[in-house]
């Protein structure tokens, strides 16, 4: 559709528009719409597929929705910090050490306190939802040092699945990179997002983790960063990542 000046009008689904503002995920936006907490040009909208443009005035809980420019960074998380904005137990979080200019961004997934490596962070809630939704199996690659000498049979067991909690089966693709004395250095690829998944898998096999570092998430890697540093991710890199996700979604839909 075009306006009077013959400029193409771009329409976006309301839930996606809310999510892309950074307010929340698309799933949460659906809940807000369903609960009648969203208005477009003063009128309450409860239709999930409602289309809006940048010229529409949208409020959530009677507060104007601020359309923000999406920002994406990759951050090298050091050990000793948890991946959350605040902690009831008083533990240090990544927000205690992040530069002020990126403290408004949210992490795409988490790394536990003792783990290091890549965290993608953004104010784009829709992007976070895409990257973390369990139905889209985006690979996360880790370099792990485990105590003891593992062998190929252990890798086969990890690929077949290990019950790390009652009713929770964890899977991982892995390969042995080298042996360091009595320890094993592995590359492990996860397609799930279970809490402390690698540590629990290796513990169950009797090879506790000594160190764990995430080196890539999808098409984004940690190259060029030192611990505690961040870099802005270029628009082309985000575009490539979204195309990669689309490719995964198509492959998964064909496999059903």
User: What are the residue numbers of the active site?
Assistant: 112
Angle at 30 between CA 95 and CA 69, to 5 degrees: 45
Q: What's the CA dihedral at 189, 195, 201, 203 to 10 degrees?
A: 130
Among residues 42, 209, 11, which one has the least CA distance to residue 113? Answer: 209
Close Cβ partners of 98 (under 8 Å, ≥ 6 residues apart): 75, 230
Structure tokens at 121: 């962070």
Contact at 8 Å (CB) between 212 and 114? yes
Q: How far is CA 86 from the centre of its chain?
A: 18
Q: Which residue has the tokens 């005035």?
A: 57
Structure tokens at 166: 């009652």
- Phi then psi for residue 102, to 5 deg, are -125, 15
Facing residues of 8 across strands?
Answer: 2
Close Cβ partners of 215 (under 8 Å, ≥ 6 residues apart): 117, 118, 141, 142, 143, 221, 222
How far is CA 141 from each of CA 48, 75, 78, 85, 170, rounded to the nearest angstrom?
Answer: 35, 15, 17, 24, 15
Crossing angle of helices 26-34 and 125-132, in 10° steps, is 120
Structural element, H or E, at residue 210: strand 209-217
């Amino acid at each position: 559709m075009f306006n009077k000046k013959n400029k193409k009008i771009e329409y976006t689904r309301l839930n996606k528009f809310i999510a892309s503002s950074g307010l929340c995920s698309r799933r949460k936006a659906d809940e807000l719409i369903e609960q009648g907490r969203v208005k477009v040009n003063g009128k309450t909208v409860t239709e999930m597929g409602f289309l809006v443009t940048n010229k529409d005035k949208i409020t959530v809980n009677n507060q104007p929705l601020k359309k923000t420019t999406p920002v994406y960074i990759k951050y090298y998380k050091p050990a000793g910090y948890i991946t959350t904005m605040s902690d009831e137990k008083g533990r240090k979080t990544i927000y205690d050490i992040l530069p002020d200019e990126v403290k408004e961004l949210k992490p795409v997934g988490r790394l536990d306190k003792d783990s290091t490596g890549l965290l993608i962070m953004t104010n784009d809630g829709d992007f976070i939802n895409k990257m973390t939704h369990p139905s889209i199996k985006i690979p996360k690659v880790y370099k792990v040092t485990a105590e003891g000498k593992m062998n190929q049979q252990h890798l086969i067991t990890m690929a077949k699945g290990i019950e790390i909690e009652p009713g929770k089966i964890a899977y991982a693709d892995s390969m042995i990179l080298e042996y360091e004395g009595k320890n094993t250095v592995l590359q492990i690829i996860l397609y799930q997002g279970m809490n402390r998944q690698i540590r629990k898998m290796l513990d169950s096999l009797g090879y506790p983790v000594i160190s764990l570092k995430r080196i890539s998430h999808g098409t984004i890697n940690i190259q060029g960063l030192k611990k505690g540093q961040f870099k802005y991710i270029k628009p082309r890199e985000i575009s490539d990542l979204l195309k990669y996700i689309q490719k995964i979604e198509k492959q998964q839909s064909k496999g059903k």
